[in-house]
């Protein structure tokens, strides 16, 4: 059966690291006929526009969303700056690919979710790891019952402190930035995807803040447990305060999924490709001169090779463009799942703060009153 693709007029809001990656991939996609870029920083706007061959550039995302060519939008602004661009896209009524999280507080996330649902728009959220074969394989084994009834999941996420420092430096409200909300959410999304259909009922967590607390009023690490109505347990932890020299560029993950008749373990620490050099390569997230050893493949978007981004974010972006152009289904996270992920990470943070269990789902008002 022949499928005919719709032409795409793509708006990209936020031309930082992710906006540039996705823009470069989109510029090569056969259905993309027009690209508009909104980037607040004029120098960065000019640089990125040239690299992605943008047809229109502005510093104002509302001006971009008024352009008649726009048929869909990628929202790749900083974590705490997603809400207004999402609302502008909702008003315009176009499909969206939104970077995680939907918002950095639960009430705003609920508002955005409702606006997207009321407008009946197709919106997905950039949980990029879902596009890797290993997690798709894990999802398939859980979905088809190969492990029996999944009863326990465990995930360990280790990151050096570069991402944390960058996030804390960029915000004037460190209380909205936590390892669980910003980074732990990726491992949580994968594990909750494997636990699809189960209902979380309460959670318990503790945090540590000996490194990032004094310097940034931040959190180093959180370890917790989510309990489900059928007795299933998900045990998770993340530290994003490892020394800068820890070779994982960003994410180094170990996951175990135990069921009544099977078990699946996934070593996603990226120790299989180790690069050691005498001079820092300036690659990855916030490259640092002291990093001479690298677990290659641990930078979540992927790696540059032969002038193109290769890996999960390239595959995710192409898959989303095909979804928009051809109406093909994709494994992308829905806005409901993204909101649920934020709710769970906020509940873990709240439990750690109170040193008490928190009932799920966490109510946005409870989060506000605890702030
Ligand atoms: N899916 C993944 O694997 C993955 C990886 C890295 C980052 N992210 C997410 O992507 C998002 C962006 O991260 P990044 O690393 O590219 O950040 P970044 O700081 O490199 O880029 C953000 C850019 O958005 C611009 N901006 C902010 N508000 C704007 C507005 N209203 N209009 C126009 N431009 C605006 C900033 O000037 C900046 O250039 C974050 O939500 C982050 O969590 C996802």
Give the mean model confidence (pLDDT) for residues 268-291. 83
Residue 65 in any domain: the answer is yes
pLDDT at residue 285 greater than cutoff 70:
no
Residue 316 in any domain: the answer is no
Q: Are residues 102 and 190 in the same domain?
A: no
Tokens of 40: 């607040």
Q: Are residues 147 and 91 in the same domain?
A: no
Q: State the pLDDT at residue 1.
A: 63
- Testing ligand 1's pocket by substitution, the residue of 82, 99, 337 carrying the most ligand atoms inside 8 A of its CB is 99
Taking CA atoms, 303 is separated from 5, 249, 313, in Å, by: 29, 11, 9
Q: What is the pLDDT of residues 27-67, one digit of tens each?
A: 999 999 999 999 999 999 999 999 999 999 999 999 999 99
pLDDT at residue 103 greater than cutoff 90:
yes
Please report, for the domain that includes residue 100, its CATH number: 3.40.50.720
Q: Cα(201)–Cα(324) distance, rounded to whole angstroms?
A: 35
Residue 2 in any domain: the answer is no
Q: Are residues 114 and 181 in the same domain?
A: no
Q: Are residues 76 and 197 in the same domain?
A: no
283: pLDDT confidence band, cut at 50, 70 and 90?
Answer: low
- Testing ligand 1's pocket by substitution, the residue of 16, 62, 73 carrying the most ligand atoms inside 8 A of its CB is 16
Q: State the pLDDT at residue 204.
A: 98
Q: Are residues 150 and 69 in the same domain?
A: no
Q: State the pLDDT at residue 281.
A: 76
Q: Cα(26)–Cα(169) distance, rounded to whole angstroms?
A: 30
Residue 153 in any domain: the answer is yes
Q: State the pLDDT at residue 178.
A: 95
Q: What is the mean pLDDT of the chain?
A: 95
Q: State the pLDDT at residue 318.
A: 98
- Testing ligand 1's pocket by substitution, the residue of 13, 14, 41, 299 carrying the most ligand atoms inside 8 A of its CB is 14
Q: State the pLDDT at residue 185.
A: 96
Going from the Cα of 292 to the center of ligand 1, the distance in angstroms, rounded, reads 26
Residue 306 in any domain: the answer is no
Q: Which residues line ligand 1 at a C-beta cut-off of 6 Å?
A: 13-19, 38-41, 44, 61, 76-79, 81, 85, 99-100, 126, 128, 300-301
Listing DSSP states for 174-215 in one string gives: GGG--HIIIIIHHHHHHHHHHTTT--EEEEEEEEE-TTHHHH
Residue 315 in any domain: the answer is no
Give the mean model confidence (pLDDT) for residues 82-111. 96
Cα 214 versus chain centre, distance: 27
Taking CA atoms, 126 is separated from 201, 236, 293, 315, 317, in Å, by: 26, 21, 28, 12, 9
Q: State the pLDDT at residue 366.
A: 86
Tally of structural domains, the chain: 2
Q: What is the pLDDT of residues 239-275, one digit of tens each?
A: 999 999 999 877 889 999 999 999 999 999 999 999 9
Going from the Cα of 97 to the center of ligand 1, the distance in angstroms, rounded, reads 13
pLDDT at residue 284 greater than cutoff 70:
no
Pairing of strands 252-259, 263-268: antiparallel
Q: Are residues 263 and 222 in the same domain?
A: yes
100: pLDDT confidence band, cut at 50, 70 and 90?
Answer: very high
Q: Are residues 73 and 154 in the same domain?
A: no
Q: What is the pLDDT of residues 16-35, one digit of tens each?
A: 999 999 999 999 999 999 99
Domain span holding position 62: 8-128+321-334
């Amino acid at each position: 059966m022949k499928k005919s693709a719709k032409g795409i007029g793509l708006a990209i809001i936020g031309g930082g690291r992710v906006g540039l990656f996705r823009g470069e991939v989109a510029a090569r996609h056969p259905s993309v006929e027009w690209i508009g870029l909104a980037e607040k920083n004029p120098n960065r706007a000019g640089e990125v526009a040239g690299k992605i061959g943008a047809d229109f550039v502005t510093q104002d995302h509302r001006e971009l969303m008024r352009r008649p060519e726009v048929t869909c939008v990628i929202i790749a602004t900083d974590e705490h700056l997603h809400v207004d661009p999402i609302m502008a896209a909702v008003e315009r009524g176009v499909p969206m690919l939104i970077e995680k999280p939907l918002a950095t507080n639960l009430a705003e996330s609920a508002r955005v979710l409702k606006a997207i649902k009321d407008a009946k728009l197709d919106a997905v959220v950039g949980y990029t790891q879902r596009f890797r074969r290993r997690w798709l394989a894990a999802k398939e084994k859980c979905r088809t019952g190969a492990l029996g009834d999944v009863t326990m999941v465990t995930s360990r996420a280790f990151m050096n402190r570069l991402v944390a420092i960058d996030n804390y430096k960029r915000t004037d409200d460190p209380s909205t930035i936590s390892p669980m909300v910003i980074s732990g959410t990726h491992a949580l999304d994968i594990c909750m995807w494997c636990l699809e259909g189960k209902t979380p009922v309460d959670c318990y967590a503790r945090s540590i803040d000996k490194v990032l607390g004094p310097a940034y009023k931040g959190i180093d690490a959180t370890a917790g447990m989510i309990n489900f109505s059928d007795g299933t347990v998900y045990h998770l932890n993340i530290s994003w305060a490892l020394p800068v020299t820890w070779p994982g560029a960003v994410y180094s993950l170990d996951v175990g999924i135990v069921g009544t008749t099977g078990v699946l373990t996934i070593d996603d620490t990226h120790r299989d490709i180790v690069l050691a050099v005498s001079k820092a390569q300036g690659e990855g997230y916030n490259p640092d001169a002291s990093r001479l050893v690298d677990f290659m493949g641990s930078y979540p978007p992927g790696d540059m090779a032969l002038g193109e981004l290769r890996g999960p974010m390239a595959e995710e972006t192409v898959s989303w463009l095909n979804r928009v152009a051809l109406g093909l289904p994709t494994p992308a996270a829905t806005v409901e799942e993204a909101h649920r992920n934020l709710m769970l990470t906020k509940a873990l943070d709240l439990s750690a703060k109170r040193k008490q269990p928190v009932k799920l789902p966490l109510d946005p008002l409870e989060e506000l009153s605890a702030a």
